[in-house]
Structure formats: structure tokens, C-alpha cells
Amino acid sequence: MNEQNNKTKQTGITTRKADFSQWYLDVIEKADLAEHSVVKGCMVIKPYGYAIWENMQKVLDKKFKETGHKNAYFPLLIPKSFLSKEASHVKGFAKECAIVTHYRLIDNPDGSGVMVDPKAKLEEELIIRPTSETIIYDTYSRWVQSYRDLPILINQWANVVRWEMRTRLFLRTTEFLWQEGHTVHETEAEAEIEARKMLEVYRDFSENYLAMPVITGRKPEHDKFPGALHTYCIEAMMQDRKSLQAGTSHHLGQNFAKAFNIVFTDKNSEKQFAWQTSWGVSTRLIGGLIMTHSDDKGLVLPPEIAPIKVVIIPIYKTDEEKELVQKNIENIKADLDLGLEIEVDYRDNLSPGFKFNEWEKKGVPLRVEIGPKDVANNQVVLVRRDSGVKQFILMADLKSVVKTELLDMQKSLLAKAQDFRKDNSFVVDNYEELIKILAGDGGYVYSHWCGDPACEDKINAEVKAAIRCLPFEQKDEAGECVVCGKKSERRVIFAKAY
């Protein structure tokens, strides 16, 4: 472990490639965010990791409410028949789900604990939700009668289970936490506005809170959510130049309304199928956060999302010094007025060096050191997590400097990630060059594509990269498909992905 650390200390984050996956897991371990459970593919989110999720929830929840949504909760268990109602939903879905077949345990006759009671078989199996469209829309069908019932703007914070073949902490686990918004509207235009509006909420959140720049765009037809009319997404470039789909928003059209009979009487007394959207982000965002900013020392958190913004390390030898330092710390703490977002590490049995390291691993944006020398000079030492820059600050100035540094760090992390993405994005017009980039260091390759999945498949077969999205911010520009040479109206992004 230490050998590994020493090794990775030598290499800069931007030059690392093969080790990236291990580095990612190391950061999670260093920051003490999560670990694998004994249950295959499941994750234990530890308190510090969960605190990050809680902060994300807090910000997002506020934004959802500001855009008119309310929270509700729908059941975990879905009747199997519900997953057969919407044809393309059924077809497109992976069938890897957790299925409840029985409802009772009995004592095992051989005395070895409990066993499933074979007599307690369910008439209809229940599926642990892999996503909640079906169970929610069945409910909506009873809620919607008139145009006056619309729109329905509801969000749910929940867990879902997908029996993934292969899992990675935060990025893909069997069970994960997320929010899923499910809305119902009178018209196609309203639903379209909603889907795009919520994508914009995600973009704003990713960039201004997570400092994680994203590309907004539309998924190609063959990569849509099963049953959706359009799937929009935000894509973020990680430090290994692979892309992470960080959130999605679907315009579902009337597909689910038709399958679940969500019908309303409009102003002209005519029956209409409703228009719907669904949108979600998950604990995967934590994975994105880690892979966007962290370095070889551990996690780096943008101040806006950090559970602890400032950590204060007292330094002393004697009891008198301790008392003196402590007194000053309490003054500073009151002055900074950061509530629970400030932590003072009073642990007596650990050296300052150990504490510096530990809080760096956890990605706390600012560290304040106070020892007798500082008290004598009426100053403190302030260290920034992202740059490592150390400065001496007069106690009287600390509050304003902390405020400025937190703002600056937030901006600087975003700018750094934006620069990285810019440096690794390429406009490419010939196939060989595209393959060369994707087979090499990787990155976002903007190329023309005719719309035929076969052309994408060819690239995928060769370099395991695919179309991430049809970006919104891309001028219409006629060209020729980089694979087959047929006509194309605009560029798409090819990249490797998580």
C-alpha cells in the first residue's frame, strides 16, 4: 500500500492511465467513503461518503422544489406484469433484476437455520424496482382524469436494484441511491420543455456545485431509454479521458401513457393521452466527483459540496500552549461562523503531520493550523487542498480570506476541469485519426456521423468507444460520416465511457 502510494506520488494524475482504476479505488479508501458489502455487488456508503450525498440531495431537492416539483414515495416492489406493458420498454430492458418469489421463511428441519417455505410462493412474482416508471405510471393513471389535474410534477428519492454482472463502487453497484422525477403534461411541447429544463438543472448543479463541466446533448436513437421519445444526457470527462454519463432526462412522449392508460379529458371534452418525462441522477455523481478532481493525495472536494469546508489543526506541546491555542481556536470558530462545516481536530494522540495527511485524504478544501508561534504573531497558517499553497493570515483577516479562498477554489476546480476537457477534445474528419485518438490517450472526438448504428458499431468493435451524445452546443454543419462517407448534418461525440 505504501509502496503503491510512493509510486503514484511520482506520476501526475494527468499522465496516469493504466493505474486509473486502482487510483480511483485508492481515493475512496483514503477518504473513507465506501466499501463493498458482503452482499455481492452492493456498496456500504460510509458516513463521510453519505454526507457528500446528503449535500447533493440538499441542493438538488431545493432546485426541484424551486421548479415546482414535490416529493413523494412509491413502492419498492413492482408486479412482474407491469414490466410487460410497454413494448419497447420491455424489449430494451435488461432483464437482470432481483425477483421476489416467496413471502415466508420457516425453520429448516435439519436445524441449520431458516429456509424458504415452498408453500409460500407468490402467485405473481414481484420485481425489486430497477426504475419506477411502471409502478408510478400505474398510479398516475388513477390520478389523472382532467386537464385540471395536470401537470403532475413529482420527484422520488429512492434506492433501485439492477443485477449488474460487474460492479464498481459508486459507478455501478447492484443497489444504488438516486432521485427519479416523473412528470405528466397536457402537451408534447410542455413535456419537451420539462425534460430540457431538468437537464439544465443537472447541468447547473454539475458545473456550479460539483465543479464538474458537462456536455449536454441528446442520445442517438439506438441508445435512448427504452420507451422514450428522446433521451437527453449530461456527459462529463474524467481524468482518464473517459466519459461518464452523469445524468439523464427523458421525454417519454405518450408511450407510457398509452401502456398505462394515463388519459385526461381536455378543454374540448376530448380524451387525450398525456405526455410524460422522467429524469434522474444517482450516487454515481460521487464517482464523477472523485474522478474529476482528486489527486494522488486523495479526494479533492469543491467547497460547495464538501461536508467539511475548513478543518482546524491545533498544535501544541505543553498544557499551557494547548489552553492558549484552544482559546484562540474557539474565537476563530465563532468568527468564521460555518456551523458544522468547520471541524476542529482536537484528537490528542495523533501528531499534526498525521492529521494534515488524513484531512487531505478526505479532500477538505481549507486547513487552518494554529500553534503557539502563530498565536504570538496573531496569525494562522492557511493551506488550500487543491493547490497545496500555504499562507500566513492575520486572525483578523481570516474570515474574509476563507470566504475568498473557498470561492476561488470552487472556480478554479471548474476551470481546471474545463481546461482538461478542452485539451482533450478533438474535431476529426477522418477515420484513421479518430481511431488513433481513441486507441491512444482518448478524449472527446467530434466527428460527423450518418445516423447508422452500424457505423458506430464498427468504431466500437475496433476501439471500444461509442457515441456519447449529439451535443446541443454544436452548430449545424453538413459533412460526411467519418466511417461510411454518407451525408451528416452535424457532429457527434465519440468517446470511451464508463
Partner RNA sequence: CGGGGUAUGGCCCAGUUGGUAGGGCGUCUGGUUUGGGACCAGAAGAUCGUGAGUUCGAGUCUCGCUACCCCGACCA
Binding of RNA by 222 (CB under 7 A): no
293 scored as a contact of RNA (CB under 7 A): no
Among 349, 432, 475, 476, binds RNA (CB under 7 A): 349
Q: Decide if residue 94 touches RNA (CB under 7 A).
A: yes
How many other CB atoms are found less than 10 A from the CB of residue 35? 14
Phi, psi of 265, deg, nearest 5:
-90, 125
Label residues 365-380 b or e (16+ Cβ within 10 Å = b): bbbbbbbbebbeeebb
Tell me which residue has cell 406493458. 85
CA 116 – CA 30 distance, rounded (Å): 40
Which residue lies nearer to RNA by CB, 44 or 381?
A: 381
Binding of RNA by 358 (CB under 7 A): yes
Q: Decide if residue 453 touches RNA (CB under 7 A).
A: no
Residue 138 in contact with RNA, rule: CB under 7 A: no
Out of 353, 473, 475, 478, the residue judged to bind RNA by CB under 7 A: 353
- The residue among 126, 74, 131, 128 whose CA lies nearest residue 256 is 131
Nearer CB in complex with RNA: 145/378: 378
The yes or no reply on residue 425 touching RNA (CB under 7 A) is no
Q: Are 323 and 210 in contact (CB under 8 A)?
A: no
CA 444 to mean position of chain CA atoms: 19
Q: Which CA distances in Å does 131 have to 5, 254, 419, 469?
A: 39, 18, 35, 22
C-alpha span between 368 and 413 (Å, rounded): 20
Kindly state the number of chain residues that form the binding site for RNA, as judged by CB under 7 A: 48
113 interacts with RNA by CB under 7 A: no
Residues 142-181 that bind RNA (CB under 7 A): 162, 164-166, 172
Q: Which of 138, 235, 343, 374 binds RNA (CB under 7 A)?
A: 374
Among 348, 432, 473, 476, binds RNA (CB under 7 A): 348
Return d(Cα 251, Cα 274) in angstroms, integer: 12
Stretch that binds RNA, among 60-68, 150-158, 346-354, 441-449 (CB under 7 A): 346-354
Q: Which of 317, 340, 475, 478 binds RNA (CB under 7 A)?
A: 317
Cβ-proximal residues to 430 (8 Å cutoff; 6+ apart), any chain: 482
Which amino acid, residue 301? L
Per CB under 7 A, the list member of 97, 406, 409, 463 interacting with RNA is 97
Q: Which is nearer to RNA, 217 or 481 (CB)?
A: 217
Cell of 131: 426504475
Interface residues toward RNA, by CB under 7 A = 1, 5, 21, 36, 40, 92-94, 96-97, 130-131, 162, 164-166, 172, 223, 225-226, 248, 297, 315-317, 348-354, 356-358, 360-361, 367, 369-374, 381, 383, 388, 390
